């Protein structure tokens, strides 16, 4: 068994957390290697290929930073919360020794989560949470025509739209009035952002349906984000973007028996109450 440790360097500057995890792993007879956040992509991929599990320490953003690369290499993730919400994380830092012991004993399971794929300007991008097409700097109205499997749905005029997975339904989409979807279903969730209308509502689409976005805005001030990362391309008027279910999945190591609904309650309800105290 070999473990790859990836830690948020903004919260673990001296790598003290990573080193402690390495000591716990050594006590269990588990070999470890450190995955550097800023290492060359090719070198990092070789390291990831050499491990059995990638242990990620941080918050949801840290998990999202690496999940696409890990998914492409078909490696499972054990996510450890060292952030605020940590909705994507499985355990807390103090639970690491027990988790490593269970992993050594083979007492864990693998849960797969679907990803969503965007094709724009001849390139493909995959996301675990969501694809966001939005007006840059919110300095005007974004006009987007939406089709599903070639059939026109509606034209959204507002800040933009979110196409999320069930995993991403508890993120930006939820904050924008979208429903929470169980991760046990595969679907795409279309959530309009601040649309200037009284009748536009979120839509849940079948996992196999293909969504086409055509930008009708008068300028090129629309941009796309993939799990919070800007792709660095201004989307020109008349451009078409294809969004669909990705062939990739993210595999998560599950140590606890906690259900999605219990996790949702703990993360959303209890956390919200604590912040008010």
Instruction: Kindly report the average pLDDT of the chain as a whole number.
Output: 90
φ, ψ at 199 (rounded to 5°): -115, -5
CATH of the domain at 263: 3.40.50.10330
In the chain, the number of structural domains is 2
Q: Are residues 14 and 35 in the same domain?
A: yes
Residues above pLDDT 90, as percent of the chain: 69
**Is 60 designated active site?**
yes
**Do 146 and 64 share a domain, yes or no?**
no
Which member of 12, 60, 68, 159 is catalytic?
Answer: 60
- Residue 276: pLDDT over 60: no
pLDDT of residue 202: 95
Instruction: Using DSSP bridges, classify how beta strands 211-215 and 142-148 pair: parallel, antiparallel or unpaired.
Output: antiparallel
Burial call 53-91: b when 16+ CB within 10 Å, e when fewer: bbbbbbbbbbbbbbbbbbbeeebbbbbbbbbebbbbbbb
CATH code: domain of residue 198: 2.60.200.30
Q: Which domain holds residue 42?
A: 2-108+255-276
Query: 66 phi and psi, to 5 degrees?
Result: -110, -15
Residue 32 and residue 12 share a domain: yes
For the stretch 90-108, pLDDT in tens is: 999 999 999 999 999 999 9
Query: 96 with 80: CB under 8 angstroms?
Result: yes
Q: Percent of the chain scored above 70 by pLDDT?
A: 94
**Residue 64 pLDDT exceeds 60:** yes
């Amino acid at each position: 068994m070999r473990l790859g440790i990836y830690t948020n360097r903004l919260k673990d500057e001296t790598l003290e957390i990573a080193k402690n995890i390495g000591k716990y792993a050594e006590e269990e007879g588990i070999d470890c290697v450190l995955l550097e956040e800023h290492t060359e992509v090719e070198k990092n991929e070789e390291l990831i290929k050499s491990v059995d599990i990638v242990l990620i320490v941080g918050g949801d953003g840290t998990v999202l930073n690496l999940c696409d690369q890990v998914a492409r290499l078909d490696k499972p993730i054990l996510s450890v919360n060292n952030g605020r919400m940590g909705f994507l994380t499985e355990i807390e830092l103090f639970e690491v020794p027990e988790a490593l012991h269970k992993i050594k004993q083979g007492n864990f399971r693998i849960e797969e989560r679907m990803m969503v794929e965007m094709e724009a300007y001849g390139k493909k991008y995959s996301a675990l949470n969501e694809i966001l097409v939005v007006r840059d700097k919110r300095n005007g109205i974004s006009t987007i025509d939406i089709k599903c499997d070639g059939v026109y749905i509606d034209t959204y005029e507002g800040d933009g739209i979110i196409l999320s997975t069930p995993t991403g339904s508890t993120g930006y989409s939820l904050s924008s009035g979208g429903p929470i979807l169980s991760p046990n279903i595969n679907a795409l969730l279309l959530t309009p952002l601040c649309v200037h209308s009284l009748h536009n509502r979120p839509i849940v689409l079948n996992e196999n349906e293909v969504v086409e976005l055509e930008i009708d805005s008068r300028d090129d001030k629309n941009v796309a984000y993939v799990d919070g990362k800007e792709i660095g391309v201004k989307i020109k008027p008349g451009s078409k973007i294809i969004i669909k279910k990705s062939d990739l999945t993210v595999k998560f190591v599950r140590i606890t028996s906690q259900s999605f609904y219990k996790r949702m309650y703990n993360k959303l309800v209890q956390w919200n109450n604590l912040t008010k105290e």
